[in-house]
Chain A
Amino acid sequence: MQYLLMIYSKEGAWERMSPTEQQQGMAAYGAFTEALKMSRVLIGSNRLRPASTATTVRVANGKSQVLDGPYADTKEQLGGYYLIDVADLDAALAWAARCPGASHGIVEVRPVWSTAG
């Protein structure tokens, strides 16, 4: 089954970190990504730019409304994701727990609505 691991964390925390801390953070994510690749479960992953760069679009009554900012103005924002393919939820949760994002934020695990068949 495919699962999307979504990393939610406090906006701006990264910028406030010292260069050494940032380096350690990058290394931790790098190692995690490498481990996913070695286990042949990684389908895709990306880091997102801060929510301040987000724009929302909604079409109502034929008019599109474009607004500056993210969908939900919360303290924690989606900062990146991993798409993985594993046997079941427990396996997905085990990977989520290893994700550095689970230590500095929250990782939401969502099964992908499969269209295979």
Chain B
Amino acid sequence: MAGEDMSAEARGMADTVARRSYGKLVAFLAASTRDVAAAEDAVADAFAAALAQWPGRGCPANPEAWLVTVARSKIIDEARRRRIGEVSADHLQIIAEGLESAAASGEIPDRRLALLFAVAHPAVDPAISAPLMLQAVLGFDARMIASAFLTSPEAMAKRLVRAKAKIKQAGIPFSVPDRDELPGRLDAVLSAIYAVFAEGWADPTGVDVARRGFTGEALFLARLVVELMAGDPEALGLLALMLYAEARRPARRSASGAFVPLSQQNIKMWDASMINEAETLLHRASTAGAFGRYQLEAALQSAHVHRCLTGTHNWAHVVSLYDALLEVSGSPVVRLNRALAVAETQGPHAALAEIEALSTDPRMAEYQPYWAARAELLGKIGAYREARQCYDVGIGLERDGAVRRFLHRRQCALPE
């Protein structure tokens, strides 16, 4: 009986440490060796050793230090075994000493920010940065990441391996960039975090096992960057933006699973504490006086929330925020959303004129919200036949069944 208790306790402890420390351990080992794959392997081996040894011998007083010591010897053994001219003896000695001193002091320096900057380095394919973060910092396996990003596990595993090899062989540094390079490099880190969030956001009800928790993990990463970057305004903006969105998650679907558009959501189902936190963060960011994309997007979220809560017609303010956002991003998606705000201030004809410029943009051809917006506006000016056609395209492009059904209902509600 006592043995079982001890075993359960050890397993529980290993789980807790894994959740809290996985990324920290990988980051520390990877930053010392520039080898993300070897660091991941060593940390996985160390956790396996913990599960094997802790139940019998009891949990160590400092589990993190214990794990680092085990992982460190794994890395050094492996490097010695495979020493085929890639790591010199001197280099090995330096690595060993660096890892030694950290293990001995029991204090593991937090190098997660350095790891984030390495995986979001411009020399790494930007499309793989978000999956790489999920794997190296959060410990998701390739199968789960592949399923969330709609690719085969083999293809995803191959791309992750290739990115890690590039980081190691090209000598991508594990460090926070200099001040003059920081804005662009930080933007890459933030946009990878936002990509993680967007993957989770695509599963509104949280039923998709592969995506469950991705929004929470993105919030965790953003909090980490805010903490480690001492309140950078854009990092604060991204965290606020994601909190505004996450706060509305429970209201995005009705009890029967139907899609509920923002204007019809039950505001009592919104998470008030998340919205309050987002407002506070956004205010804190604004005092820095350096506006960027994420702060503007968060300000837009704030405006939408404010309108729904108070019933104030603030569309002119929304249009001006989109104008500012268009200046920094120039994205066709921003232009589209701006047009929808224009529809509220100047009517559907003006909005249609605004999105006319987008009709030749190849990025819009397969973008569902573009077709839905066009259909909506055409319906308002009485062009029902064209509206129906646009709904068809939008429905055909959407992968979420609830949104498809919503668009279909809107299509059926059009007069003959």
Q: Which residues of A contact B (CB under 8 A)?
A: 1, 3, 87-90, 92-93, 111, 114-117
Contacts and interface: CB of A to CB of B under 8 A. Distances in A.
Contacts of A88: 171-173
17 contacts: A1-B171, A3-B171, A87-B171, A87-B173, A88-B172, A89-B121, A89-B172, A89-B173, A90-B173, A90-B175, A111-B169, A111-B171, A114-B85, A116-B88, A117-B85, A117-B86, A117-B88
A56 to B, nearest CB: 27
A89 to B, nearest CB: 5
B57 interface: no
Contact of A116 (B85, B170, B173): B85
A117 B173 contact: no
Given A89-B123, A90-B177, A117 B83 contact: yes
Contacts of B83: 117
Specify the main secondary structure of chain B where it touches its partner.
loop
A114 B86 CA distance: 6
A111 B170 contact: yes
Most buried by B among A3, A88, A89, A111: A89
Interface residues of B, number: 15
Interface string B82-99: 010111110000000000
A111 B170 CA distance: 5
Contacts of A114: 85-86, 88
B338 to A, nearest CB: 35
Contacts of A89: 121, 123, 170-173
Contacts of A117: 83, 85-89
A92 B123 CA distance: 12
Contacts of B86: 114, 117
B82 to A, nearest CB: 11
Contacts of A87: 171, 173
Nearest to A117: B88
A93 B171 contact: no
Given A90-B175, A111-B171, A116-B88, 6 more contacts: A1-B171, A90-B172, A114-B86, A117-B85, A117-B86, A117-B88
Contacts of B175: 90
Q: Nearest 3 pairs between A and B by C-beta? A: A88-B173, A117-B88, A1-B171
B261 to A, nearest CB: 46
Contacts of B85: 114-117
Contacts of B171: 1, 3, 87-89, 92, 111
A72 B241 CA distance: 49
Contacts of A1: 171
Contacts of A116: 85, 88
Contacts of A3: 171
Contacts of B170: 89, 111
Interface in B56-102: 83, 85-89
Interface string B121-159: 101000000000000000000000000000000000000
